[in-house]
Structure 1
Amino acid sequence: MVYFLLLGILLLLILGPQLWVQHVMTKYNRHQEENFPGNGAELARHLLDRYGLNQVQVEKAESGDHYDPGDKTVRLSKDKLEGRTLTAITIAAHEVGHALQDAAGESLFQWRSRLGSIAVGAQRLGSFLLFVSPILSIVTRAPSAGLLSATAAFLVMGSNVILQLATLPVELDASFKKALPLLKSGYLEPEQYRGAEKILRAAAFTYLSASLAGLLNFWQWIRVLKR
């Protein structure tokens, strides 16, 4: 009974933030707002030009809204790109916030970008070790093969969890020190502020919910290795 209670609490902690993020994004993405003269793409382009970031492009995203510092591109999903909802406008401003972090050379953003490159390398190495560890285990019959598998699991899953946790302060800065002041400078009506704050908080905590799910996966993997 206690085990199932703990499992329920754990699932709530992991799935709760994800469900809340989805609820907030959907709630404010249903109705086109009459006071918005343009859609998400047009607002992003306007804000980028306003701050002299003419070289930064705005494109349709294939997998989630994000700013790509390598290509200097703000990418928005179709509903954010073409929509005039509060979610579309707010997320567009949030991603522009990342472009502003990049342009200013802010240390948190640069550190997160470097950590992202390290995480990619760690995951590739981990994937290779996961591939060779069963072979080594059969050939050598050494207990160190289990340690190799655990190391590989950490490189693949653990590095991603660390990256997502490190991303959280960068996301909070883009939301509340960049996007929100911009939106309050004449782009939103006062009655829309609270909704925008919820959306920006959800945008930032998307990475927290992902890291919690990653921790669960990592824990399950370690349990499998111990058997």
Structure 2
Amino acid sequence: MGGIWIIMIVMMLASALVSWTLKSKFEKYSKMGISSGLSGREIAEMMLADNGITDVRVISTPGKLTDHYNPADKTVNLSEYVYEARSAAAAAVAAHECGHAVQHAKAYTFLKFRSAMVPALSVASRYMQWILLIGILLIQTTILPLAIGVALFALTTLFSFVTLPVEFDASKRALAWMSTRGVVTTQEHGMAKDALKWAAMTYVVAALGSLATLLYYASFLFGRRD
């Protein structure tokens, strides 16, 4: 148990560090204008067009770092800053989200798998914490609730790891397109790559953190069984 607690504390510190670094990088590259003068919206529309995607809309969404692709209504949602800005950070984020749209259009395997998991995950997320709590409270009586809770948490952990190739691939597509299309210079491309690397790290830390938490709950279950 002690070892698992140490791992969880390390993951919490790592998560805080990565989050801080990402925000710092984003703020830094937000001040770096790109020579093409293209806005995030314009870059997104160009990337979609270059990939022959005509049924996806690029829209603005409130908030900061709220950018995402919605496969349900086929929209690339760019935060207000990214939508209007003409910076290396905005270019990186806009192209990355379009990378997800390209994945969708090309039926990328891991994206399909992740999307198929969403309905079950929404149910698991709704009840999981309560089932785990009940399971721990009743562990001296029965292990069934805890076993169910651990199984549900394992599903969310699997989802976190399936997300990794989806995010890395979207960034890879974005960077390759930006380089080929020439919407950024070599130096600006380096900034975009660095920003996307740290964005991807947040998913890596989240996945590892989920695994550490899963092991924590599993230790109760298997400790009780022993």
Shift of 1:52: 2.7
Are positions 1:15 and 2:31 aligned together? Answer: no
Note the aligned Cα RMSD (angstroms). 3.2
Are positions 1:67 and 2:62 aligned together? Answer: no
Q: For 1:76 and 1:13, locate their aligned partners in 2 and report how far apart those are by CA, in whole Å.
A: 29
Q: For 1:171 and 1:119, locate their aligned partners in 2 and report how far apart those are by CA, in whole Å.
A: 18
Gaps of 5+ in 2: none
Tell me what 2:144 maps to. Answer: 147
In structure 2, do the counterparts of structure 1 residues 42 and 18 end up closer, same or farther at CA, with 3 Å as the change threshold? farther
Greater CA deviation, 126-135 or 206-215?
126-135
AA in 2 matched with 1:105: A
Q: Sequence identity of aligned pairs in percent? A: 29
Tell me what 2:44 maps to. Answer: 44
Are positions 1:183 and 2:178 aligned together? Answer: yes
In structure 2, do the counterparts of structure 1 residues 134 and 198 end up closer, same or farther at CA, with 3 Å as the change threshold? closer
Q: For 1:110 and 1:191, locate their aligned partners in 2 and report how far apart those are by CA, in whole Å.
A: 34
TM-score (norm 1): 0.78
Q: For 1:181 and 1:133, locate their aligned partners in 2 and report how far apart those are by CA, in whole Å.
A: 48
Greater CA deviation, 47-56 or 94-103?
47-56
In structure 2, do the counterparts of structure 1 residues 62 and 222 end up closer, same or farther at CA, with 3 Å as the change threshold? farther
In structure 2, do the counterparts of structure 1 residues 214 and 72 end up closer, same or farther at CA, with 3 Å as the change threshold? same
Greater CA deviation, 200-209 or 27-36?
27-36
Matches within 5 A, 1:161-180: 161-176=157-172, 178-180=173-175
Are positions 1:97 and 2:107 aligned together? Answer: no
In structure 2, do the counterparts of structure 1 residues 142 and 220 end up closer, same or farther at CA, with 3 Å as the change threshold? closer
For the 8 Å contact 1:180–1:197, the answer to whether it is kept is yes
Shift of 1:149: 3.0
Give CA-to-partner distance per residue, 1:54-83, whole Å, 9 cap, x none: 221222335722111111111122222222
> Whose relative contact order is higher, 1 or 2, with alpha carbons under 8 Å and at least 6 apart?
2
For the 8 Å contact 1:40–1:84, the answer to whether it is kept is yes
Shift of 1:162: 1.4
For the 8 Å contact 1:18–1:206, the answer to whether it is kept is no
Count of matched residue pairs: 216
AA in 1 matched with 2:45: R
In structure 2, do the counterparts of structure 1 residues 159 and 184 end up closer, same or farther at CA, with 3 Å as the change threshold? same
Gaps of 5+ in 1: none
Q: For 2:67 and 2:204, locate their aligned partners in 1 and report how far apart those are by CA, in whole Å.
A: 16
